[in-house]
Structure 1
Amino acid sequence: MNVSLFKSKFLIFLCFSVLFFSCSKNDTDNETPEFSQENTQRAAEVDEVFEGTLNIMETAYAEEEEGRTNSFFPPCAVFTISQQGENFELIIDFGEGCTLPNGAFVTGKVLLTYGPIQNNTRIIDYSFDEYSYNEHPVSGGGQIERLFENQNGNPQSTVNETITVGFPDSSITATRSGFRVAEWVEGVGSGTWLDNVFHITGNWDTLFSNGFNRIGEVVETLVKKANCAIVVSGNIEITQEGHFALLDYGDGTCDNIVTLIHNGIEYTIIIG
């Protein structure tokens, strides 16, 4: 799954914080704005780290176990597979540093363990060993339920997570928990990642060691095309510091426009 979208999300949340500050500042009730741009930036970074890491895990598994072609990984990523009985362990080792095709710089190891396929499903546990994504150390782990064919006849991954992300030059950490469901709706078995389309739903809660909390929930299914830099349609509801807003990704057109809706007012955000 193309993860350049998540770098774009970082810009969205920067605009998100500025717009909320402006709205609060102009209120007539003299309420003091408490919307932190710095915390919003950190929350966006956590999302980028998680989605980028999830892309690594899903892509690595699909390439090694499902015979997907046109590898996403450069030679600096070393894959090791071991088997004990019916159980497998897949280690993706990035060593002291490896730059992926999407520009992400990763270090350390991602570990996937899984047993046999049962009832068209495989449970994959994941964890990390001195792993970092774009200089953000990541610990914790979770579980992926890999469904090879859902009710629509498509592959689907349901991810449960509890991961802790650190920040460069800061003692603050963020723990994100929640789940995400991605249905692979187009491009299955084509032999290339360029024509893939995914439908994404889910929700997550990110709690920071400084007390800041942000909740995100997909309220209209997100549509992600691998050949487009950002999500092309769908809505995410954002809740933080007592504020609510909606991010509307559009009508399916591959463009760089996202609409942020707050208190009934629409703001056009240009990505990039």
Structure 2
Amino acid sequence: MKNCFKNLNFTGLLLLAIVFNFSCNKDESPEIIETGETETFEVAQLQASDESELISEEIINIGEDVYATDEIQATSRGSYISDYLPDCVTITTVVTSTSKEKTIDFGEGCELPNGNLLSGKIILSYLKDMEAATNMLSLSLENFTFNGVSVEGNATVQRMRSNDNGNPQSDAVASFTGEWPDGSSASFTGNRTREWIEGFGSGFWGDNVFLISGKGTYTGKLDNVFVKETISPLRRELSCRFIVSGILEISKNDTTVSLDFGDGSCDSKGILTYPNGESEEIFLRRFKK
């Protein structure tokens, strides 16, 4: 089921997400998961939380892609250019004696290779010394939307040029709030570590692969709160819109379920396992194309 996107024949989200093989009709009764405990899980709530994580991950991914382009050009003395951001994106750079600030402008609407439609600006800043073993990146947003969701917030990313495996790695702290076209809102805060295990420096976005781990909190409408923690690293292939493997542990109040993203197939499905041991296949995220 490796359903790849148009420029490969992508999350090629991708969150992203990244469209999907299901639709969510708000007029339908929500699917309720009875856990056998006092708490219940609504699949629509889980989909919305997954969607929020996609937005956060995609924003940080864009910032890191722009930074990596600068880093590779500076340290390899080459003319490397990443092809992840399309021509409709404008990047403006302001350089001081110690830092760089890049404004990544998506204009009134710009579609990424993975099909996500973005508008507005991401402001990225970091220290000028590209030879340093680590660098600190700061990201903020200006009039930013993601597939019609208005997003505010910021992130800081500690970027390591080479970890113990010899791969680039980043540790991010993010806090974003989104407002959907129907007026509903949600927030996502969390810490995540991402190791770039394949495709670094190739210049082709479609072969980039990351392993992601961390812990985050999602707060949706009606103050539904989910705490998510990675049990097995999540594999993100930019040639697919979805996380293709890995396991999350998801807690709501005193009830905990696990979500398995699968065996590597590119699809929007996951296996949810409840406290009583029963499992069910669900579709993730509500974005569709």
Give the TM-score normalised by structure 1.
0.82
Offset at residue 86 of structure 1 (A): 1.3
Whole-Å separation in 2 of the counterparts to 1:243 and 1:98: 40
CA contact (8 A) 1:185 1:198 kept: yes
Residue 146 and residue 9 in structure 1: after superposition, are their counterparts in 2 closer, same or farther (change >3 A)?
Answer: farther
Structure 1: distance between partners of 2:170 and 2:54: 18
Of 200-209 and 238-247, more deviation after overlay is shown by 238-247
**What does 1:157-176 align with in structure 2 at a 5 Å threshold?**
157-170=170-183, 172-176=184-188
Higher helix share: 1
1:60-75 matches, cutoff 5 A: 60-67=66-73, 68-75=80-87
Q: 2:135 aligns with which of 122, 133, 137?
A: 122
Question: What residue number does 1:43 align with?
Answer: 49
Computed over aligned residues only, the root mean square deviation of the Cα atoms, in angstroms, reads 3.1
Residue type of the alignment partner of 1:254: S
Aligned 8 A contact 2:13 2:243 in 1: no
**Residue type of the partner of 1:148?**
R
Matched-pair identity in % = 31
Give the C-alpha shift of residue 175 in structure 1: 2.5
Select which of 23, 27, 49 maps to 2:34. 23
Verify the 8 A CA contact 1:154 1:184 in the aligned structure 2. Answer: yes
2: CA distance, partners of 1:113 / 1:165: 22
Partner of 1:141: 154
CA distance in 2, matches of 1:11, 1:145: 35
How much has 1:189 moved relative to structure 2? Answer: 2.6
Structure 1 range deviating more: 186-195 or 89-98: 186-195
**How far did residue 200 of structure 1 move?**
0.8
Give SS of 1:7's match.
Answer: coil
Distance in 1 of aligned mates of 2:220 and 2:266: 33
CA distance 1:10–1:212, change in 2 (3 Å): farther
Mapping 1:1-272, distance limit 5 Å: 2-4=12-14, 6-7=16-17, 21-24=32-35, 34-67=40-73, 68-117=80-129, 119-170=132-183, 172-208=184-220, 210-240=222-252, 242-251=254-263, 253-256=264-267, 258-262=270-274, 263-269=276-282
Moved more, 5-14 or 174-183: 5-14
2: distance between equivalents of 1:198 and 1:127? Answer: 23
Structure 2 gap ranges (5+): 1-10, 74-79
Aligned length: 262
| Aligned-partner residue type, residue 116 of structure 1 | K
The answer (yes or no) to whether the contact 2:170–2:194 under 8 Å persists in 1 is yes
The separation in 1 between residues aligned to 2:137 and 2:188, in whole angstroms, is 19
Does the 8 Å CA contact 2:12/2:113 hold for their aligned counterparts? no
In structure 2, C-alpha distance between the alignment counterparts of 1:202 and 1:131, rounded to whole Å: 25
Distance 1:89 1:105, change over 3 A: same
Q: Take 2:20 and 2:239, find their aligned partners in 1: how far apart are those partners?
A: 20
Deviation at 1:231, TM superposition (A): 2.9
Point out which structure has higher relative CO (alpha carbons under 8 A, 6+ apart).
Answer: 2
Structure 1 unaligned segments of length 5 or more: list them.
none
- Whichever residue aligns with residue 180 of structure 1, its letter is R
TM-score relative to the length of structure 2? 0.78
How far is the alpha carbon of 1:152 from its aligned partner? 1.3
77-86 vs 61-70, which moves further: 61-70
Tell me, in whole angstroms, the C-alpha distance in 2 between the residues paired with 1:261 and 1:8. Answer: 23
